[in-house]
A and B are shown apart, each in its own frame.
Chain A
């Protein structure tokens, strides 16, 4: 089954404690992206990756890091989480081939609370 998986689904942590949210896709997609969803703001792109070892900032990259060492994985790293990073996070992937529909496939989400 084609899917994007995220772990953990729920996480409560304290300010300053480093954490990683994993994202994996099994569709051989070149493009992967992280979003945060906040009430009234919709989804805002944090970082995206066009392919292995190629990443770029989205609209809200401050306080986050990413890496793309393998095509299927795109972890999101919070080196020193703060309460304003409490949010619902989504990972997504899509094909970048010219014949594709550019549709993004979303993971189930990770609800992060930073106290």
Chain B
């Protein structure tokens, strides 16, 4: 069975500091990996994804994540956060050969001025 772990439930960080949000997964099959962001009182929207190819993927707003198959991780990083990055971040896994999607419990990022 698949599972997703996000070890940090809350991450406070000062504005312009770097941040890393951790995601580990377990799966016996090939997977697609996603990071979604949920701003307060909104639905989820895709931040970035790994399907195949380059293991380093980037988003348009400065986030990046690296797929590490040996460590079964897909950590999210940003070198300098802004107040507007305050949100809940969810890591998700979907099997490449089937449709069930598993989400992690989420990490609440709070950017402190």
Q: How far is the CA of A48 from the CA of B39 in the complex (A)?
A: 24
Chain B nearest CB, measured from A47 CB (Å): 11
Chain A nearest CB, measured from B89 CB (Å): 10
- Interface check A81, CB cutoff 8 A: no
What is the total of A-B residue contacts with beta carbons within 8 Å? 57
- A40 with B105, Cβ < 8 A, contacts A45-B100, A104-B46 known: yes
Interface size on B, residues (CB 8 A): 23
Main secondary structure of the interface of B (DSSP, over half): strand
Q: List 28 A-B contacts (CB under 8 A).
A: A33-B101, A40-B105, A41-B105, A42-B6, A42-B103, A42-B104, A43-B44, A43-B90, A43-B103, A45-B100, A45-B101, A45-B103, A48-B101, A50-B99, A59-B102, A90-B44, A102-B34, A102-B51, A103-B34, A103-B46, A103-B49, A104-B34, A104-B36, A106-B36, A106-B43, A107-B43, A108-B42, A109-B43
